[in-house]
Amino acid sequence: MKQLWAPWRIDYIKSEKPPGCILCAKLKEKKDRANLVLMRGKHGFVLMNLYPYSNGHLMVSPYQHTCTIEELSDEVITNLMQMVRRSILALKESFKPEGINIGLNIGKAAGAGIDDHLHFHIVPRWGGDTNFMTVTAEIRVIPEDILKTYQQLKPYFKSPL
């Protein structure tokens, strides 16, 4: 079995979490650029992960505050999948990844860092993106400033779904 080491995530895991839901709080602030929100759709939103596994790591989440997919209507699920598809297209066009991981972690035991608000991860991948720096030095190399990545991706999310 191969392992994906993500030691840079420990900063988030150990950090003090604000009370309430971080995803709901970011949406209420109406500071989309500062909060890395790329698009607000009909039933959900796309935002960049502040603690990315790789450059361009996106998340798609419903507005509905729920931790289970069963509580979402078919209409909401369809809209979320449309946003996942748009995210993939934006990443392929903008960053030319060699692969993409899509994940949905439900519950802490499944790896959910934010376990009270459902969200999909869309992670662009390249051969060699997990290398000796990550494994031995516990350093993750993200080659571009996160706000520059935001500016590069934002045009792909101008029209909401």
Give the active site residues.
Answer: 119
3-state helix/strand/coil string of 22-58: HHHHHHHHCCCCCCCEEEECCCEEEEECCCCCCCCCE
- Integer Cα distance of 71 and 53 in angstroms: 28
Query: Could you count the other beta carbons within 10 Å of the beta carbon of residue 9?
Result: 14
Class of residue 63 by CB neighbours under 10 A (exposed 0-12, middle 13-18, buried 19+) = middle
